[in-house]
Amino acid sequence: MTRSDKPRGPCVTRIPEGDNRPRLICDECGFVAYENPKVVVGSVTRWDGRILLCRRAIEPRRGFWTLPAGYLELHEDTATGACREAFEEACARIEIDGLLAVYNIRRLSQVQLIYRARLLDAGIAPGPESLEVRLFAPEEIPWDELAFPSVRWALEQDFEAARTGDRTTHGNPPGATGNLR
């Protein structure tokens, strides 16, 4: 039996030799189809003290506000992915200022890397995944209409960092798992 880069036949779930957890394994060639977490990249993007948010045009949470963010593409570094997502969702050209947070969303098997960024110009417009894009002053943030817990975490941690000057990379807030919408 030779191994390939993809299964040739039906897969079964069992623990491969030398492993400690069940995996999908091709009965024909022995290929192990590992399932690994998805990486999400995005940014808290500022322009003149305001924050860029996008109203989602897609599920989940269509119609709710989010940061420009999405899945990292193959062969793409994380900062480049965050810039691409800002352009795809808000036609926004951004520059990354540093890593704000790394969130672990276990129930979705996601790792989210959220950067601090700044808009390079005020020219923003909705992309295909956004109904609307807007720059919000901190007091205008639609907190009750945010799509995901991690959006709230990132905004709160960014505001705190701006207030204190602490540019430490953050993680999930204490006790927060991201399991609730």
- Beta strands 65-66 and 50-56: pairing type? antiparallel
Domain ranges in the chain are 7-36, 38-164
- The topology (CATH level 3) of 38-164 is Nucleoside Triphosphate Pyrophosphohydrolase (3.90.79)
pTM to 2 decimal places:
0.88
With beta carbons less than 8 A apart as the criterion, state whether 103 and 172 touch: yes
pLDDT digit string (tens) for the chain, length 181 residues: 344 567 778 899 999 989 999 999 998 888 998 888 999 999 999 999 999 999 999 999 999 999 999 999 999 999 999 999 999 999 999 999 999 999 999 999 999 999 999 999 999 999 999 999 999 999 999 999 999 999 999 999 999 999 999 999 999 999 887 665 4
CATH 3.90.1150.10 assigned to 7-36 = no
